[in-house]
Structure 1
Amino acid sequence: MLRQISLFSNHFPLLYSFSFTLIYVILLLSRTIIRQPRRSFIMNTIRRFQEDVYLRECRAKVTGLTEKDGKCQITLNQTIFFPTGGGQSCDVGTIDNLPIIDVYESDDEIFHVTDQLNHGLSIGDEVEIAIDWAHRFDNMQRHCGEHILSGIFFELYGGVNRGFHMGEEYMTIDISLEEKPEFDKISWEMAKEAELRTNQAIWSNLPVITRHFDKREDAENLPLRKALAFDEDITIVCVGATSNPADCVACCGTHPSTSGQVGMLKIYKVESNKGMFRIYFEAGQRAFTQYQARFDVLTTLENKLSAGFGDLLSKYEAQQEKAKESRNELYHLKKSVIMREISDIKASLTPAFVKKYDKLAINDILDIGKELKGLIPTIAFLVHQPSNTVLLFSDQYDCNKLVKENADIYGGKGGGNKNSARAIFSKAEYVDTFIDLIEKHLR
């Protein structure tokens, strides 16, 4: 064999050299091609939640452990933890009883975050992973409810969902009216119709089918609510039959297998927002909990007003009208008292006038002081006794300066402008001491 190679190299030196170089290059490329996919295959996390959203626990192997920002990031060969994405919060739970407080995806890898640095785990360990099912199902109900509501807004009014947020107190979607020019706003009545249609779809217990597609062309055959943003690895969630779905859209989140599991949906508010309409709503058990809380308030009001549900609003409006009349009477009464007080003060003004009040509000006393402008010989001190507040008024002296230079001597604070200022003290005795000090200072 060696002799044959030697003869070949002697007779065809250039061809021999080229062949040797080609074989060497092929070997290098084969090493790279063989190694790289194997490494990628080992590192990528298998997403069990895409196969079965009801799987609550399973076994997995630890493939990576890294420390970042004082926390440990754990990667596994497979996971049931959904990472934050698509407007939905991540799952929480445990890995071998270690609390998992955050889950996120980066470069096709899912990272499970724990704040326990002394975790005792090693790469290759087999671990038991479990999700907080109540949290997962809460997200499933809410996210599916959002899908149906968005689909109904699109069907009824041509409204396109341009933003989605799942908060702790409520969810929001931002609807842009693009497809049906006859609609230029979303009224409360329109929102109520969308709410009713959404709940009818929920109560119909429609199948919720999640499908995965490798290519864009296959997914585009479905009646999609929104155009696809990706060309491959696409997940479509369809609520109801594909011939006439309540909603059909690309989504990576977790959803129940039937719409009936959402339970109910309630819209709270509609408001304009940057040329669109923001819908505040809740779905699932959270919607029911909110309904209970609001119904409790309603029941309390019925009891306080001695009214049934049917006449509660009229009773409330009657109370409001009565309160308005009382406020009007009080205003005129106080106005009369203030005008009489102003008249009395004008008739008895002295160079350093002091008067104390325990019934009038501070704003009322301020109104009295304003009416004295141009009439005060030296300075006037009007005291609001309940709050130990001294209101200074003067046409000659800088009231703000007097407060700033003297109030803090007695632990007071305050300020104002040249013609009027206030000083506030913690004790009534400091009020009198402060006034005496200013009087002596101005003599």
Structure 2
Amino acid sequence: MDTAKLYKNDTYIKEWTGAVTSVKPLEEDDSRLLITLDRTAFFPEGGGQSCDTGFIGPYRVTDVQEEKGEVYHTIEKGDEPVPRPGASFHCSLDWERRFDNMQRHCGEHILSGIFYSLCGGINRGFHMGGDYMTIDISLEEDPAVTEITRETALEAELAANRVIWSDAPVTVTHFDSREEAEKMPLRKALALEEDITIVSVGSRENAADCVACCGTHPSSAGQVGLIKIYKVERYKGMFRIYFEAGERALKDYDEKHELISSLSQRYSASAGNLASKLDAREKKLSDLKDELYHIKKAFTAGECSRIDSLIEDSDLSVLFYSSDCLSAEALGDMSKHYMGKAPLLIILFSEKDKACILASDGVFCDCGSLVKEYAPKWSGKGGGSRVSARAVFPSEEKALAFSEALKELLS
């Protein structure tokens, strides 16, 4: 027996009484059951809309699906006894979730209808995600229109919100046959032959949208509240519109307003000139980075010259160089000056990174082997080749102990 679907005639039913008509366990999870009711207001997943959740008596409803006219509710059994067929229960929807879906789904209808009337765009795909919704618009009705620009999207957004501000009625009409349903001003061809539900926004003579739909919708467009388009991108020969509607769109605005207010205060700028302030700051940082690069390049070149002098004026087998300001990356660049050339071991130590950079000609010693064999004794990690290697230590003391050990080994 098909389940009586209360949501088809009244999307505002939040509580009702339903009798269990069947119960069966889920094979993959014995803590959950699959039950059917004689009547339900739980909307099953479909048409791009997620299912309702809520309670059937003491049982939490986590999923709802429809198959061959029957609505199947997945419930968590918990410590409760298994419900028996014939038992009646007080049922209740998670109304916040339902109304959220109603706002978003109706918002999608309104925006899709506007794109159809504005540029002949046909909605070929719809997705309600956690952070945004998307519709995929195909421009196949009007050969003169080849692109949805940002300006077109803003025009559609304004028109969609004007439908909301007009509080246009949203009507749901059920038809037994395709012939009757096709008398409506549909924006999309029907795919069903019977038991067809048409959702219209606005009057029949001046509909903002009119299309077949099995989802739940508010009774008027004003309850959608708001539609906001985030971005438009090309997708598989179509245009994908990212947007949000209802309370979610308002929350997104709140978050972005807080962010802009915070940044405006931080950079002493108004919302209107924040971007130019950040551009100027970015330019200044870029100039400083360029200046720092050249200063560092000159400094390291000078340090390399100093090390060269030490090598020439001594018969050292191990030369240790320590820096409290240069990073391991900078010392790594310095070490390239000695790779495959220096007839000794050069250890460049970065105090800030607690890292030792080794360089040699690869004949005097094998840098990679030294790191592999000795660094772990002081909890160091690293590796390298014969002419260059790197080891990072948990403390400066351990890095220095590693360096002293190599001095003793090779002296």
* TM-score interval, normalised by the smaller of the two chains: over 0.9
Tell me the equivalent position of 1:372: 338
Larger radius of gyration: 1
> 2 CA distance for matches of 1:49 and 1:415?
66
Report the CA distance between 1:160 and its aligned residue.
Answer: 2.0
* Aligned match of 1:61: 19
The 2-side partners of 1:385 and 1:228 are apart by 72
Of residues 251-260 and 264-273 in structure 1, the stretch that sits farther from structure 2 once superposed is 264-273
Question: Per the alignment, do residues 161 and 362 of structure 1 end up closer, same or farther by CA in structure 2, a change over 3 Å counting?
Answer: farther
Q: Distance in 2 between matches of 1:294 and 1:277?
A: 25
- Structure 2-normalised TM-score? 0.92
CA distance 1:162–1:378, change in 2 (3 Å): farther
Q: Does 1:362 align with 2:328?
A: yes
2:46 maps to 1:92: no
Aligned length: 401
Match of 2:212 in 1: 250
Residue equivalent to 1:428: 396
TM norm structure 1: 0.86
Structure 1 position 387, deviation (Å): 2.5
Contact 2:157 2:229 in 1 (8 A): yes
Quick check: 2:340–2:387 contact (8 Å CA) kept in 1?
Answer: no
2:150 to 168, 188, 197: 188
- Cα 1:104–1:371 change in 2 (3 A) is same
RMSD: 1.8
- Which digits, 9 at most, give the CA deviation of each residue in 1:24-45, with x for residues without a partner? xxxxxxxxxxxxxxxxxxx311
Between the aligned partners of 2:220 and 2:23, the Cα distance in structure 1 is 38
Note the 1:330-349 alignment, pairs <5 A.
330-349=292-311
- Tell me the secondary structure at the aligned position of residue 48 of structure 2: coil
Residues 64 and 417 (structure 1 numbering): CA distance in 2 closer, same or farther, change over 3 Å? farther
Q: For 1:143-162, list aligned pairs within 5 A.
A: 143-162=105-124
CA drift at 1:95: 0.8
- Matches of 1:334 and 1:246 in 2, distance apart? 64
Contact 1:393–1:421, Cα closer than 8 Å, also in 2: yes
Matches within 5 A, 1:262-277: 262-277=224-239
Query: Whole-Å Cα distance in 1 between the matches of residues 52 and 241 of structure 2?
Result: 25
Query: What is residue 374 of structure 2 aligned with on the other side?
Result: 406
Q: 1:76 aligns with which of 37, 43, 52?
A: 37
Deviation digits for residues 194-229 of structure 1 (CA, Å, limit 9, x no counterpart): 111111111111111111122222222222222222
- Gapped regions of structure 2 (runs ≥ 5): none
Correspondent of 1:321 among 269, 277, 283: 283
C-alpha contact 1:60 1:77 (8 A) present in aligned 2: yes
Structure 1, unpaired ranges of 5+: 1-42
1:110 is aligned to 71
**The structure with more strand, counted as a fraction of residues:** 2
Matched letter for residue 52 of structure 1: D
Offset of residue 291 of structure 1? 0.5
Which of the pair is proportionally richer in helix? 1
Residue aligned with 1:359, SS: coil
Contact in 1 for aligned 2:382/2:390 (Cα 8 Å): yes
Distance (whole Å) between structure 1 residues aligned to residue 256 and residue 401 of structure 2:
53
Q: Which residue of 2 aligns with 1:142?
A: 104
Counterpart of 1:387 in 2: which secondary structure?
Answer: coil
Which of 138, 149, 155 is 1:176 aligned to?
Answer: 138
Does the CA contact (< 8 Å) of 1:342 and 1:372 recur in 2?
A: no
Whichever residue aligns with residue 350 of structure 2, its letter is H
Q: Percent of aligned pairs with the same residue?
A: 47
Which deviates further from its counterpart, 331-340 or 416-425?
A: 416-425
